[in-house]
Structure 1
Amino acid sequence: MTASVEASVVDDPADAEGDAKSAARAARRAERVRLFVQPALVLVLVVVTLVYALTRDLTATQAATINVATISQRVLEHVLITFVVTALVVLIAVPLGIILTRNGYRRLAPVFIGIANIGQAAPAVGLLVLLFLATGSTGFWVGVLPIAFYSLLPVLRNTMLGFQQVDASYIDAARGQGMSGSGILWRIEFPLAVPYILAGLRTSLVLAVGTATLSFLVGAGGLGVLIDTGYKLNQPLILVVGAVLAVALALLVDWLGALAEAFLGPKGLR
């Protein structure tokens, strides 16, 4: 009996390792399946909704909103808001995250993380209204800037985490080979941090798409206009079209983020 117990104890680590590998393979298979299923689901959702909305008899009120020109305009406005927000977040959060992991600047990290936390914790609609009241104006940038502030934290935090997770032995080895500080940063640290940055960017993109539906409040346009029009005029069809397109765009952006995570990181870490 003692021998059998000892044998089972010896076998446990191997069994655990095998289970971990099986779970990892299953997770990779599930992710590959999702990468195929998700865009197909988005396509079906959009096509069915638009075909149903555009081919039925519409009232004059519905026809003024549910038409190819208007829907295309609102989708393009929403995409533009999301694109500009993402560009601002990347241009601010990634360099700032790198700086805050350098010697001499680490003590400032809690300050900037705290500021970004305020943006994440505050309701997005509150940020939009506050900027409107502070500037007394409406328009594209009054809608974009609060959403960028709201979406900043995931990229900033993940950039810092990615650089902090780089094994110190890699840096020591690079220094031992005579590599400069900038060379270590861009050839060793940054590539290893890319998966973390992309994960944060994916989260920020989804936040930006969802929050952009509120930008109509300050005259920045987007799919929120359709949702608001359907609600105010008691037109469920207009409301559903706007909501479905907003959901579809969020799913599409999440899918693009998953593709980036799968194919843009270092080959050895995929």
Structure 2
Amino acid sequence: MAAAGRAGFAARGLIYLLVGVISLQIAFGGDSGGKQADRGGALSELAQRPFGSALLWIVGIALAGMALWRLSQAVFGGAGTDGGKPSKRVMAAGRFVFYAVVSWSVLSYAAGDKGSGSGSSDRRTDDLTATVLGWPGGQWIVGIAGVAVVAAGLYIAARAVMKKFRKHLNTAVMSAKARKVTDFFGVAGGTARGIVFAVAGVFAVVAAVRHQPGKAKGMDDTLRAFRDLPAGPWLLAVIALGLAAFGVFSWCEARWRKL
């Protein structure tokens, strides 16, 4: 399970690094040739590299490893004194479901289903929002979900700034330089990731208030929204570097995470 978890962190890091690179290209290169700054865009970019098909299979299997590790946390409890708490187990179960779905989509894409893992996050967000808004009380559901995403994003960013990630790392075996490098990428990456989540949540709230599904944005459109602000290209570039930093931090977790 430890090996499966570390492989999953490595795969997650690669995806975030590619999203960061694509976002940086969008910041100063227009639409970047139609590339999507989200997981689907990262997988499409990976598929175009030498041995791309093999890399997709490796990433999909590694993410399946992450899902299995999260499942083991839900069943047996995680590392640390509080790893067996019911709240921790429930969170681990939720993450198991998330990574299982992501892994399945990546493996389906690797097997030839091009409409699976590389789908646009923006289109999926629009479709889901439109469906929920059509339900009785749909505006409230979307609005509450949006507020929850905003809160989650702010929580992620705050924990990154406070370096709460340290408690999950085996700092005793890390050199002083390794700790400093990991702190830098953890703070920069977690803060950028949290900001993106929070902004996406704001767009969901706007979609609920206006009853317009198109106002909700997936990761790609959320990142492009930064570019449309004053000094937008530079702001998006900072966010892009932050997402790439989170990718590197994920690699640090693959090496030093307590599992």
User: Quick check: which one's helix share is greater?
Assistant: 1
Question: Which structure exhibits the higher relative contact order, with contacts defined as CA atoms closer than 8 Å and separated by 6 or more residues?
Answer: 2
Larger radius of gyration: 1
TM-score (norm 2): 0.27
